[in-house]
Amino acid sequence: MVLEMESVSIKNQNIGMSLGIKTVTVIGSGTMGNGICHVFAQNGFNVHMMDINQAAMDKALATIGKNMDRQIAKGAFTEEAKTNALGCIKTYTSLEEAVKDCDLVVEAATENIDLKINIFKQLDALCPPHCILATNTSSISITRIGSHTKRPGQVIGMHFFNPVPVMKLVEVINGYATSKEVTEKTIALSKSLGKVPCAVNDYPGFISNRILMPMINEAILALQEGVADITEIDNIMKLGMAHPMGPLQLADFIGLDTCYSIMNVLHMGFGNQKYAPATLLANMVQAGYLGVKSGEGFYKYTPGSKDLVVSERFKK
Ligand code: CAA
């Protein structure tokens, strides 16, 4: 088993090398950033984790260790492989140091267009010329981000899903100017991580959120109109459609602020009223009820408990 796992990691490293990708810088150490570092390190890449906050990166490393322990507990990983994987990750607070010798950057900073454009301008100036600049954005236009660099052909979307070590999909998003070679490399690289890449073009919400978010928004509208309660809405989708989480629980898991901002991108991008975010969603975001990350959304979360408890605000 150990040998098998080591050979998978060496094989993947070889694929990475044959693609010219050995060192990967991940910008941002939040939920998505730490999951992305986890999968690259697990597959033998040199990982440079970059964040302006060292304490956030220390927390991210602890989370990666804990998530690797889950994999060890079910026999899918070993202590030795964990030590090797964690040894592949270096942390940086200086962007210049983090990217100077990297082959690929995956940006997973906060979902804010001005922030991302600013990061990509700096990346363009600091990264080696061959380096691919990928973003894990869930809805911001890849073409727009790429247009702020002198290498739009090397800018691509590499959209991972939470929890990154578990979810198989990488949505690979081609900006209008992304080169075919960069798309092919990103697809091959995603496969080397054990993921299933699906290539799409750059339209609002891409495919994942163009379909997922209107479903979540519709569930919130149904709740707002009193068609059914939270538990009924979620159970209908869990038990009737075999979704692992109901749409309201999933909204809490993703973050209501993220759902709201993606609905706004769809609404503005298509100019169609059918994408208008539910007023209840807007109100909850404005009041700071963001779901798991703030401790309360449609459900109330207690650290250490997996019980699904409907928020008091929705009890009649
Ligand atoms: N790292 C490693 N392993 C993890 C993990 C993590 N962060 N989180 C969970 N796991 C593993 C567990 O070890 C467990 O493994 P086994 O079944 O092999 O033992 C498995 O995942 C299931 O975990 P749990 O038993 O703790 O909990 P669960 O059965 O309730 O599953 C879940 C949790 C995997 C999150 C499941 O509920 C699920 O798939 N939910 C839907 C998630 C989803 O839709 N994600 C996409 C969100 S959208 C997005 O990310 C992008 C966007 O643009 C908005």
| Ligand 1 geometric centre to CA of 276 (Å) | 29
pLDDT for the residue 1: 45
Place of tokens 């978010």: 213
Model confidence at 4: pLDDT above 80: no
Check whether residue 267 and residue 160 sit in a common domain.
no
24 closest CA partner among 54, 52, 51, 44: 44
Ordered alpha helix ranges (H), the chain: 2-18, 31-42, 54-73, 79-87, 95-99, 113-126, 142-146, 180-192, 208-224, 230-241, 247-254, 256-270, 279-286
pLDDT for the residue 2: 46
| Ligand 1 geometric centre to CA of 166 (Å) | 6
- Residue 291 is classified by DSSP as B
3-class state of residue 130 by DSSP = coil
pLDDT for the residue 295: 97
Model confidence at 5: pLDDT above 90: no
43 closest CA partner among 92, 93, 6: 6
Check whether residue 70 and residue 185 sit in a common domain.
yes
Check whether residue 227 and residue 185 sit in a common domain.
no
Kindly list the catalytic residues.
Answer: 138, 159, 171, 209
Number of domains the chain contains: 2
- Tell me which of 3 and 269 has the higher pLDDT: 269
- Residue 313 is classified by DSSP as G
3-class state of residue 169 by DSSP = strand
Torsion of CA 187, 189, 194, 198, to 10 degrees: -20
pLDDT for the residue 12: 65
Check whether residue 22 and residue 170 sit in a common domain.
yes
Check whether residue 147 and residue 251 sit in a common domain.
no
User: Which residues span the domain enclosing 266?
Assistant: 209-314
Judge if the beta carbon of residue 141 lies within 6 A of ligand 1.
no
Check whether residue 81 and residue 192 sit in a common domain.
yes
Q: What is the pLDDT of residues 46-81, one digit of tens each?
A: 999 999 999 999 999 999 999 999 999 999 999 999
- Residue 287 is classified by DSSP as T
| Ligand 1 geometric centre to CA of 251 (Å) | 14
Q: What is the pLDDT of residues 233-244, one digit of tens each?
A: 999 999 999 999
Check whether residue 17 and residue 101 sit in a common domain.
yes
- Judge contact between 131 and 31, C-beta under 8 A: no
Model confidence at 15: pLDDT above 90: no
Judge if the beta carbon of residue 63 lies within 6 A of ligand 1.
no
3-class state of residue 6 by DSSP = helix
Q: Which of 170, 201, 232 is the last residue of a domain?
A: 201
Model confidence at 3: pLDDT above 50: no
pLDDT for the residue 292: 96
For residue 258, what is the domain's CATH number? 1.10.1040.10
Check whether residue 35 and residue 83 sit in a common domain.
yes
Task: Compute how many other C-beta atoms are within 10 angstroms of the C-beta atom of residue 217.
Answer: 25
For residue 180, what is the domain's CATH number? 3.40.50.720
Check whether residue 120 and residue 15 sit in a common domain.
yes
- pTM summary value: 0.94
pLDDT for the residue 316: 76
Minimum CA distance residue for ligand 1 atom 23? 166
Q: Which of 172, 201, 230 is the last residue of a domain?
A: 201
Tell me how far apart the alpha carbons of residues 225 and 248 are, in angstroms, rounded to a whole number: 15
pLDDT > 70: percent of the chain: 96
Q: What is the pLDDT of residues 188-209, one digit of tens each?
A: 999 999 999 999 999 999 999 9
Judge if the beta carbon of residue 12 lies within 6 A of ligand 1.
no
Check whether residue 238 and residue 144 sit in a common domain.
no
Place of tokens 């941002």: 28
Q: Which of 149, 166, 201 is the last residue of a domain?
A: 201
Q: What is the pLDDT of residues 17-44, one digit of tens each?
A: 788 999 999 999 999 999 999 999 999 9
Q: Label residue 307 by pLDDT band (50, 70, 90).
A: very high
Check whether residue 90 and residue 215 sit in a common domain.
no
Q: Which two tokens stand for residue 161?
A: 């899903």
pLDDT for the residue 315: 86
166 Cβ neighbours under 8 A, 6+ residues apart: none
Q: Which two tokens stand for residue 180?
A: 């075919």
pLDDT for the residue 11: 61
Judge if the beta carbon of residue 166 lies within 6 A of ligand 1.
yes
- Judge contact between 16 and 43, C-beta under 8 A: yes
- Residue 163 is classified by DSSP as S
Check whether residue 9 and residue 129 sit in a common domain.
yes
158 closest CA partner among 96, 108, 102, 225: 108
